[in-house]
Structure 1
């Protein structure tokens, strides 16, 4: 029995479909007949995919057929890695520029650094107007242990050199950042729940505690979920005394309870979880457990509302079927899954409707999708049927995202200007810490000037006009500085600066450091307004 459970966990809910159902060739026979006798040429692969999609259409929106290529990509993201050389790159001026090198990865061991340019991979020249990101990735990735010859133009000196790189497994990190927001508040950004997330989280938490963190903000915004056991393991670090985290059950699946078992690394101390309308599935498991046990506060906007458990069945050709087998329920008994009774199209339009109705922007009061009452451990009233409703509501900042200058901060031209500044100013490497860079760097004006020079004349005048607006200018400069900090200090550098202008993080800091934290846990609800 022990071996069976271990095997189940290692397979991560991936099963061969042939072990579950008996073979039935009616669909294959039909498609083969069409292929042999139909008047015109048809793509039988697309025909098969459309047929399977049609079969699944009446079921819930999360039961889906995944092509072999999409399944490969999705599995690599959740399994936590792929075989490659360990670089991130960007194509600028028809040239492949290395923007980040994985620490202790194959490329780093070969001496490659951010700012290097790729000239050749093997015998293939990787420069010119026809080069694509897809082609570069295909050339750089390969079998673990295989060697690849790469010719680079180093950032440190003129000329070129060729390095031999041995491909290895490259981790896809799911914890984007772990930083101290102040002298006692740690911050961890979790992008998804993959096979390595729990290990990454505990490592990040340990580092923050060494730096003096006694209270914690966990950011699950835009986290679409992933492995359930990753979410329950992290919840176990936050909850004590065998507390129920989540239960799952379905028509053919008996009830399974997931409870806190181990001594957690952060069972006491103030805790805030940040969520938004794109926090889904496993994110809602963690947020629901924290809220139902009054372990901490949920701040942000109502979550996505996905409370269904999928099991993945592998097809012989590498494709997969993700089949919903159960629903999950929070400790108070809530089902977070929102209704899909009106079909997939209506279901997929939910976020757009919430924006139009004013729920996301604070124009309308947040109303529960299901009025069935549930109660937290301290008796606070909560609801299910449509996501986790936060204890403190922070509306979507429409003014910021509609600001044309804010959008320009992430444009291709700005990306080019920041990269060029990094390449041309090697004295940037003298900054020893994020704090040192944040305090001393003042080169935003040079980057802005270079950026404007990359624009057409009519756009140059528009940008110059927008920069004179004080609020826009401050945000614009913050984003520039944050993106440059990523070159020097990876994602921790980026988030250390960007979060200074984050309304939800600032609201969380004011609550966790003030008197409202305990008041809200005792039943007070607060709505934050963007200024």
Structure 2
């Protein structure tokens, strides 16, 4: 309920709810919230304000010398957020940095360039653009960066795109750090918007982005692949085995490029990692995958948090929660009952194989409900194969 208006129910959509919630900055809105753990609505009076959108989800030290920063997108404030996070990590003794760009679909180009600049000495090419009727424009690193001396590993996957690929390509082509994970999406077009008098607009592609060695970031799109082929290309990677087996990826000699340090890198669309880490593909994960695809761990964690909010209040901080809370047999039994109620029967063999993964993800989601992303990543990362590989590479460089 917002003021005197009911905004829940099958006939009300999110847009209708948002119209009631939004208002002039500084004005008050009364909100009634229903929780399963409470018998009556809980009432709040909220002062309306501009809500900032953050792009650095978390920055923390997984060990004494390594920092981890998760950048989910490149917004107008990303570089400012990044600098603040880096300063805190350096004060805590950071020597190595894991920069996680997995799932980052891009955003502001300048923010990605500014981040790359922090890792490089002056005068290195970060990215350049080139088009049929557009002059070549080159972006260089400028003054001394704060992180020039720190070891760097960037994590990417098939959903890392655009500005993420520009940053990863700049680091890779300048031999500044390692790229770990799987080939990125391959989105690197420069577009110009043409506005028309009727209010409509046309976005015209005028150039493409290239990494310092000359690799085109944009994956091919032509008459052979077609519209559907372009947008389903990532699915074809999975079924062709590229995401599970590095040997499934083949390149023509024309797609080979060499960095100043002598490392061979490959074009053809997207950024190929220096160190490939496959996705898990195991028939024994069938039960886990069903649960995950239906969002049952997420939904159960939300319900559990709501039903047990009072008892969970004893954890005053994430560290207390992480040390004191575990998914015990009673909670797991409740989850399995919940999954059956949602049409996923328990597979005993699949449960035995994936029990640890299921319990970890439920705990991570509960932790996120209590402590936001600061409670999610420290729980989930210790079992993340790509992150584990990054830590190993700091200890034993290739």
Length-normalised TM-score, structure 2: 0.89
Partner SS, residue 382 of structure 1: strand
State the match for 2:392 in structure 1. 510
1:380 paired with 2:263, answer: yes
State the match for 2:83 in structure 1. 202
Distance in 2 between the 1:266 and 1:363 partners? 31
- The answer to whether the 8 A contact 1:300-1:504 is kept is yes
Distance in 2 between the 1:410 and 1:138 partners? 32
Pairing of 1:250-399 with structure 2 (within 5 A): 250-314=131-195, 320-342=201-223, 343-362=226-245, 364-368=247-251, 371-399=254-282
Distance in 2 between the 1:400 and 1:223 partners? 29
State the match for 1:438 in structure 2. 322
Deviation at residue 418 of structure 1 after TM alignment: 2.2
Deviation string 1:268-322 (CA, Å, 9 cap, x unpaired) is: 1210011112211111111111011110001111122222112344556765433
Partner SS, residue 254 of structure 2: coil
Deviation at residue 370 of structure 1 after TM alignment: 6.6
Deviation string 1:174-227 (CA, Å, 9 cap, x unpaired) is: 222212221111111111111111112112222222222110011111211111
Deviation string 1:481-514 (CA, Å, 9 cap, x unpaired) is: 1001102221121111111211111111111122
Deviation string 1:229-261 (CA, Å, 9 cap, x unpaired) is: 111011011111221111113234322221111
Partner SS, residue 137 of structure 1: helix
Out of 351, 362, 369, the residue aligned to residue 480 of structure 1 is 362
- The answer to whether the 8 A contact 1:147-1:164 is kept is yes
Question: CA 1:210 to 1:155, structure 2 compared with 1: closer, same or farther past 3 Å?
Answer: farther
Unaligned runs of 5+ in 1: 1-119, 520-531
Out of 496, 499, 508, the residue aligned to residue 378 of structure 2 is 496
Distance in 2 between the 1:204 and 1:400 partners? 40
Question: CA 1:506 to 1:316, structure 2 compared with 1: closer, same or farther past 3 Å?
Answer: farther
Coordinate RMSD, CA, aligned: 2.8
Deviation string 1:78-108 (CA, Å, 9 cap, x unpaired) is: xxxxxxxxxxxxxxxxxxxxxxxxxxxxxxx
Deviation at residue 441 of structure 1 after TM alignment: 0.9
Pairing of 1:43-62 with structure 2 (within 5 A): none
Pairing of 1:78-477 with structure 2 (within 5 A): 120-152=1-33, 159-160=40-41, 162-314=43-195, 320-342=201-223, 343-362=226-245, 364-368=247-251, 371-399=254-282, 403-409=286-292, 411=294, 413-423=296-306, 424-456=308-340, 459=343, 462-463=345-346, 465=348, 468-469=351-352, 471-477=353-359
Length-normalised TM-score, structure 1: 0.68
Distance in 2 between the 1:479 and 1:307 partners? 34
Question: CA 1:129 to 1:370, structure 2 compared with 1: closer, same or farther past 3 Å?
Answer: farther
Of 125-134 and 195-204, the range deviating more from structure 2: 125-134
Of 234-243 and 289-298, the range deviating more from structure 2: 234-243
- The answer to whether the 8 A contact 1:405-1:463 is kept is no
